[in-house]
Amino acid sequence: MAELLVRIADKVNEDFYLNLQCTKRGDVIVVCPDGWPWGREEVNAPHWTIIKLPGVPVEEVEHLVSPEPQTDPHNPSKTLQRRMWKLDLDHPAAKGRIDKDTLLKTLASKKQPVKDPKVF
């Protein structure tokens, strides 16, 4: 069973490249087992929410914390994002009870790669 700590407000760095490494709204920060003893700030901080998925094994959703991977080790990208996946928290389905299918089939999507403005 899984519980997800999800960012609901962007973390922003004024540096373009560092900003890509900051988590954004809809990014999953951590996935923990059901009944996890979250800390005070994990529960109360305004930039996070916790999505509970009773009955869903951690293994089925932990890919949501994967970073965007390097695709060319010989020409490493400087614009990889901190998370490869995001949850669409503005989708109507996010307003109600979220189950595994809603999470993985409706809310979760892979992010688009970011172009490096210094590379033509």
Contact footprint for another protein (CB under 8 A): 5, 7, 11-15, 18-23, 29-32, 36-42, 45, 47-48, 58-59, 62, 65-67, 82
**Least distance in angstroms from the C-beta of 27 to another protein:** 9
**Least distance in angstroms from the C-beta of 16 to another protein:** 12
**Least distance in angstroms from the C-beta of 21 to another protein:** 3
Question: What would you measure as the largest C-alpha separation in the chain, in angstroms?
Answer: 49
**Least distance in angstroms from the C-beta of 109 to another protein:** 19
- For residue 32, what are the β-bridge partners? 3
Toward another protein, which CB reaches closer, 15 or 101? 15
Toward another protein, which CB reaches closer, 41 or 72? 41
Toward another protein, which CB reaches closer, 19 or 102? 19
82 contacts: CB under 8 Å, gap ≥ 6: 20, 21, 22, 23, 24, 27, 67, 68
Residues 102 and 93: beta-carbon distance below 8 Å: yes
Can you tell me whether residue 44 is helix, strand or coil? helix
Q: What are phi and psi of 107, to 5 degrees?
A: -90, -35
